[in-house]
Structure 1
Amino acid sequence: MVHTCVVTGCRNRRTPGTGLSFYRFPRDPDRKQRWIEAVNREGWIPNDGSRLCSTHFISDFSPPVFPHAGKQVKNPRSPDYVPSVFTTAPLSPEMKEPGALEILDKQEDRVEAANALLFLQGQGSAAVGERLQEEHPEEKEQEAIVEESASSSLSTDDEDDDESVSDSKKGKFDAAVNFEDILKALKKENQALRESVEKMSLSENFLRNDAEKVKFYTGLPNYFVLETVMWLLAPHMDGMKNVRLSKFQQLLLTLMRLRLDLRNQDLAYRFGVKVGIVTRTVHQMVNIMSSTLVPTAVFWPSRAELRKNLPAALRTSHPDCAVIIDCFTVPFEEPVSRGNQQQHQQQQRAAATSQGAGTSHNVLKYLIGVAPQGVVTFVSRGVLGNVSDKTLAEGCGFLCKLLPGDIVLASRNLDIADSVAARGALFKIACSYQGETCGSSEGSQLADSSSEMVSVPRHVERVISMVKRRYAMLTGPVESPFTTASERTSNLSTFDKIVQVACALNNLCISAAPLE
């Protein structure tokens, strides 16, 4: 079946050797309707035999005869997804006189040209030929063209038809080969783009085999430790409903929140989710890590374990040292909760009238205990900063950890010596340098006993500084949603759990702060 182009004014039809392509109208209803609108024939509807030639597309797949012919493309972003070239299409050499083509086919045209050549050769003379050559030199050129056409037509008319068919097949074959090459190139480019996107997306591939990225985004020393934490938490994350983020991305988002103190809106942009999803994910992951990771990484070691790994600075002077304690504070934005605003205001007035009030009431105070080996073994819940150290130490459960004979060291007097003694333990103050007057006779003897004790007062400060440096969220100010109790059955706020989780993650790092 001979196909002709349906565009008004376009007389192109399928002819061997021209290299033109004729395309069916798309099956997709939307794209098909756009093609019909582009053809712009009022009231016309295409049928199964309707075709559109390649001269109405602009892609660079031009045959030699039609240097502006293109090719349809199925990519919606391509300009050739819909035909757009509708100027008067050039006619092929065989179709410049459509009236003749309606009467004669190609073979008849060649026979007619041969007869005309024989007539001219029989009727003309040399003189007339010379005169015609002088007056009309272009006619000789035309005669030579007609003669060549006739001779080729008379000699091998059938062979020429075969050659046209073979040329057509060859053109199709070349086009197929080019198409395969283009397809391979596009697949290769697509794969490269996928790999690039995966490397840039916040997923496992983004951090795998790159310890520096792991340290920057999570605070953990390497991907192996991060993978171990993921393995520990994964079974407890099955109840979390989040179809947009994988389990790994939920953990990474939470660690980035703690590590870089990024706001929820920032994380929402980075992970391509809504702010509400970020908020819910952080709270859920903090609860899971508090109940799973903290008991595993923050625990009170046995006395035998402490003595086995006791640093040389305390081995001779205080082999029974169980913990070194101190307090640290974190500022918050507003009162801890709306329910106790009246109590908070009373505490503010009491702090203002107290002579010894040196701590701001706009902070949360925590008691931290550090083993001589440099790991955190105890973290209290947060209380308002104007609460005394003694009240905090006696009410946070720290004293319950002590055994008779344990020694508790501190860099300053926390006024808990009597409370510690009631547990059968001993509280001592380590001076910052030899000869300094300490708060007790035991402290003076401790300062004079060994020059190695110079590093003891700064031991807890070094650990606290390391935890805050590793997880910037602990530097504050704490946002109000994190200061309210996360569960009705618990007196711990979400930020209390964040402090404990940060200490647990710090204990997993190789660079703990040993007592020198």
Structure 2
Amino acid sequence: MVHTCVVTGCRNRRTPGTGLSFYRFPRDPDRKQRWIEAVNREGWIPNDGSRLCSTHFISEMKEPGALEILDKQEDRVEAANALLFLQGQGSAAVGERLQEEHPEEKEQEAIVEESASSSLSTDDEDDDESVSDSKKGKFDAAVNFEDILKALKKENQALRESVEKMSLSENFLRNDAEKVKFYTGLPNYFVLETVMWLLAPHMDGMKNVRLSKFQQLLLTLMRLRLDLRNQDLAYRFGVKVGIVTRTVHQMVNIMSSTLVPTAVFWPSRAELRKNLPAALRTSHPDCAVIIDCFTVPFEEPVSRGNQQQHQQQQRAAATSQGAGTSHNVLKYLIGVAPQGVVTFVSRGVLGNVSDKTLAEGCGFLCKLLPGDIVLASRNLDIADSVAARGALFKIACSYQGETCGSSEGSQLADSSSEMVSVPRHVERVISMVKRRYAMLTGPVESPFTTASERTSNLSTFDKIVQVACALNNLCISAAPLE
């Protein structure tokens, strides 16, 4: 915009190289009226484009620097207006945006207007005051910038801390036992940190630049604990589904080879007798384990590489009487110490296999020593097999006063009141493990039912069951028999 001086007879215009400055009329009503009187145009009222050139100010020869501040500011504003107008954004919103982004320029404008108004008098002290006010305004603006910078840094730090607390990382769970229990099934952060310490050296070979070691462990525990689908976990951790699938399988393999041998093991006879619960101390001081079977449904038939054996088992189940187990389940044998910890977990087999076949083929009998007592709440038809190892199989009573006999070769179980809680002991442990890790309730997805390694007959889900039992053992007192 080209400005022309509004004084009658003055033909000065804003052109490059003239060195003239043009000033708008002040907003203050009193000062604005003084300017209008100085122009001396009868009945004339200035508008937003009205300007006075610097030749009509007495202070122009004394302090041109103070009055040129507004001129430079107007040049910048007009340049920005012209540029944005050419871009189709209009000039009306530009001034408001510049005023919001540069509040210090508004302060400088007010200061310059005050200086220009006072320059109508011939008092040199007024000019000195305007220059002093201009310098003071610059100083105040600098101080405001420092305050704004500090406030922005503080806000930035608060936002970072808020985002970090919401992200699935160490700080998300640290000092919050309830969150640890909900997302991992472990009792507190200390136990989770211990598990991380055990697994970290074995995770160096996992190449995952998007997830930290802790996040890879947390992702896997959330998969087991909450039975979340891979797509859900991918959204939560901000990664692709393939990364989730690969991470879960790799972490399960690491925990199976590292954590399971540490937490699921067959205790020595001395350790068993030392911590034997009072419910069995008198009746069965040599009790080594309490066993039972449990099943987990799966989505599709399991293929373990032996299709002929699979078909034979199906035919045997079809011709057997009283076989109530479905074909689309995986069957596991679990052994629980009287103290309530899991000491043995078999691999999963098709649900139509008999208890005897499962017990004799899973390696359970190899754990027994001569003189050991094996308790169960029902007849698993393994008394002969147990007796062949020099041990004794007993069936515990289901209620007080009942005497239950085992199959041939086993002794009668005691009918004392101390045995009332035995039949439910393994059931409580199995129920606790399934509640703690919902993935064990099924149905199992077909990718988890295939053998995870060519050299192993364990499927990925077999390892998941063992890992869940190991994690359950790390919790305080699984299900004490008292």
Equivalent pair of 1:251/1:285 in contact (CA under 8 Å): yes
Q: Could you tell me how far apart the structure 1 residues matched to 2:452 and 2:87 are?
A: 109
Q: How big is each residue's C-alpha offset from its partner over 1:184-242, in whole Å with a ceiling of 9 and x where there is no partner?
A: 11111111111111111111111111111100000000011001111111111111101
Post-superposition shift, 1:181? 1.5
Post-superposition shift, 1:330? 0.3
Q: How big is each residue's C-alpha offset from its partner over 1:53-73, in whole Å with a ceiling of 9 and x where there is no partner?
A: 99999999xxxxxxxxxxxxx
Q: Could you tell me how far apart the structure 2 residues matched to 1:125 and 1:279 are?
A: 55
Post-superposition shift, 1:162? 3.5
Q: Could you tell me how far apart the structure 2 residues matched to 1:379 and 1:130 are?
A: 73
Q: Could you tell me how far apart the structure 2 residues matched to 1:56 and 1:106 are?
A: 19
Using a 3 Å threshold, how does the CA distance of structure 1 residues 323 and 132 change in structure 2: closer, same or farther?
closer
Using a 3 Å threshold, how does the CA distance of structure 1 residues 99 and 198 change in structure 2: closer, same or farther?
closer
Instruction: Give the match for residue 305 of structure 1.
Output: 271
Using a 3 Å threshold, how does the CA distance of structure 1 residues 509 and 5 change in structure 2: closer, same or farther?
farther
Q: Could you tell me how far apart the structure 1 residues matched to 2:13 and 2:54 are?
A: 11
Q: How big is each residue's C-alpha offset from its partner over 1:342-401, in whole Å with a ceiling of 9 and x where there is no partner?
A: 654553343223213211110000000000000000000000000000000000000000
Post-superposition shift, 1:7? 25
Equivalent pair of 2:267/2:343 in contact (CA under 8 Å): yes
Moved more, 213-222 or 26-35: 26-35
Using a 3 Å threshold, how does the CA distance of structure 1 residues 174 and 313 change in structure 2: closer, same or farther?
same
Q: Could you tell me how far apart the structure 2 residues matched to 1:329 and 1:373 are?
A: 23
Equivalent pair of 1:373/1:515 in contact (CA under 8 Å): yes
Using a 3 Å threshold, how does the CA distance of structure 1 residues 414 and 137 change in structure 2: closer, same or farther?
closer
Equivalent pair of 1:317/1:449 in contact (CA under 8 Å): no
Secondary structure, counterpart of 2:413 in structure 1: helix
Secondary structure, counterpart of 1:446 in structure 2: coil
Post-superposition shift, 1:120? 49
Equivalent pair of 2:394/2:411 in contact (CA under 8 Å): no
Using a 3 Å threshold, how does the CA distance of structure 1 residues 457 and 182 change in structure 2: closer, same or farther?
same
Find out whether 1:364 has 2:316 as its counterpart: no
Using a 3 Å threshold, how does the CA distance of structure 1 residues 113 and 20 change in structure 2: closer, same or farther?
closer
Q: Could you tell me how far apart the structure 2 residues matched to 1:426 and 1:294 are?
A: 27
Moved more, 28-37 or 362-371: 28-37
Equivalent pair of 1:203/1:248 in contact (CA under 8 Å): yes
Equivalent pair of 2:80/2:94 in contact (CA under 8 Å): no
Instruction: Give the match for residue 229 of structure 1.
Output: 195
Using a 3 Å threshold, how does the CA distance of structure 1 residues 148 and 334 change in structure 2: closer, same or farther?
closer
Post-superposition shift, 1:336? 1.3
Using a 3 Å threshold, how does the CA distance of structure 1 residues 438 and 164 change in structure 2: closer, same or farther?
same
Secondary structure, counterpart of 2:397 in structure 1: coil
Find out whether 1:8 has 2:5 as its counterpart: no
Post-superposition shift, 1:439? 3.3
Q: Could you tell me how far apart the structure 1 residues matched to 2:153 and 2:100 are?
A: 63
Task: Choose from 321, 329, 340 the match for 2:287.
Answer: 321
Taking only the aligned residue pairs, the percentage that are identical comes to 100
Segments of 5+ residues of structure 2 without an aligned counterpart are none
Post-superposition shift, 1:180? 1.4
TM-score (normalizing by structure 2): 0.75
Using a 3 Å threshold, how does the CA distance of structure 1 residues 32 and 136 change in structure 2: closer, same or farther?
closer
Equivalent pair of 1:433/1:447 in contact (CA under 8 Å): no
Post-superposition shift, 1:128? 50
Using a 3 Å threshold, how does the CA distance of structure 1 residues 463 and 223 change in structure 2: closer, same or farther?
same
Equivalent pair of 1:114/1:151 in contact (CA under 8 Å): no
Instruction: Give the match for residue 58 of structure 1.
Output: 58
Secondary structure, counterpart of 1:427 in structure 2: strand
Post-superposition shift, 1:169? 1.8
Segments of 5+ residues of structure 1 without an aligned counterpart are 61-94
Post-superposition shift, 1:131? 50
Q: How big is each residue's C-alpha offset from its partner over 1:281-320, in whole Å with a ceiling of 9 and x where there is no partner?
A: 1001101100110000000000000000001111111111
Post-superposition shift, 1:164? 3.2
Q: How big is each residue's C-alpha offset from its partner over 1:93-122, in whole Å with a ceiling of 9 and x where there is no partner?
A: xx9999999999999999999999999999
Post-superposition shift, 1:325? 0.4
Using a 3 Å threshold, how does the CA distance of structure 1 residues 156 and 252 change in structure 2: closer, same or farther?
same
Using a 3 Å threshold, how does the CA distance of structure 1 residues 57 and 217 change in structure 2: closer, same or farther?
farther
Q: Could you tell me how far apart the structure 2 residues matched to 1:367 and 1:432 are?
A: 20
Secondary structure, counterpart of 2:32 in structure 1: helix
Q: Could you tell me how far apart the structure 1 residues matched to 2:120 and 2:91 are?
A: 24
Post-superposition shift, 1:168? 2.1
Using a 3 Å threshold, how does the CA distance of structure 1 residues 297 and 181 change in structure 2: closer, same or farther?
same
Q: Could you tell me how far apart the structure 1 residues matched to 2:249 and 2:81 are?
A: 95
